[in-house]
Chains A and B, each alone.
Chain A
Amino acid sequence: GQQLNQSPQSMFIQEGEDVSMNCTSSSIFNTWLWYKQDPGEGPVLLIALYKAGELTSNGRLTAQFGITRKDSFLNISASIPSDVGIYFCAGRSLTSGSARQLTFGSGTQLTVLP
């Protein structure tokens, strides 16, 4: 099945710093999504990307759909304590046909130090 490699696995940063994480796949994807999950809760959709090269922002968050269509990036600027959580990338492969389920990365655990 499809696999997504998400890195880094975990990050410890100081409040106010910028954060970058990425996701790569072995096949071409036509949709990339980024989610954030707080402990004991369901993932919350942050950003959706549909076109290669697309750059989309949501407040301090910016995500990009890679030109090769095999990767995506998420940046968080000026991190704050409430940014703590697990960030997941998710995507849909071009070869999925009519299937709409998503493939998820393994997550990036973000810790923001005061």
Chain B
Amino acid sequence: EAGVTQSPTHLIKTRGQQATLRCSPISGHTSVYWYQQALGLGLQFLLWYDEGEERNRGNFPPRFSGRQFPNYSSELNVNALELEDSALYLCASSRSGRGSYEQYFGPGTRLTVT
């Protein structure tokens, strides 16, 4: 069974630009979560999508947004990039129902803003 995949692996942008990150969940999983991990820090919750709807968002500004497609894959968009947005962005997926709190992570996208 294929795991969670993310693309691109690395992304370099300049301040003010927009970044788009992509995630494909494990087959059969309907929920996708996005987390930001700044260098040397823990994971901060960004967004949760389930069945195509945004279910919850963390304490991040509106320029962090995303969507979930009918095939359950997801996109994270970051507008008006700032230097402090440089981080590893992790996507995780989970199934619904029993065991739905077990999240499985992809390898991440390293975003560097210069």
Which of the four size classes fits the interface of chain A?
20 to 34
Does A55 belong to the interface (CB within 8 Å)? no
Interface centre among B43, B48, B88, B92 (most CB of A within 10 A): B43
Does B7 belong to the interface (CB within 8 Å)? no
Q: Interface readout for A95-108 with B: 1 if CB under 8 Å, 0 if not?
A: 00011111111110
Contact in complex: B90, A92 (CB < 8 Å): no
Chain B residues, Cβ within 8 Å of A41: 107-108
Bound together, the chains give a CA A107 to CA B43 distance in angstroms of 9
Majority SS at the chain A contact face: loop
Interface residues of B in 63-114 (CB under 8 A from A): 88, 90, 92, 94, 99-108, 110
Q: Interface readout for A56-76 with B: 1 if CB under 8 Å, 0 if not?
A: 000000000000000000000
5 residue pairs bridging A and B, Cβ less than 8 Å apart: A33-B101, A40-B110, A42-B4, A100-B31, A107-B42
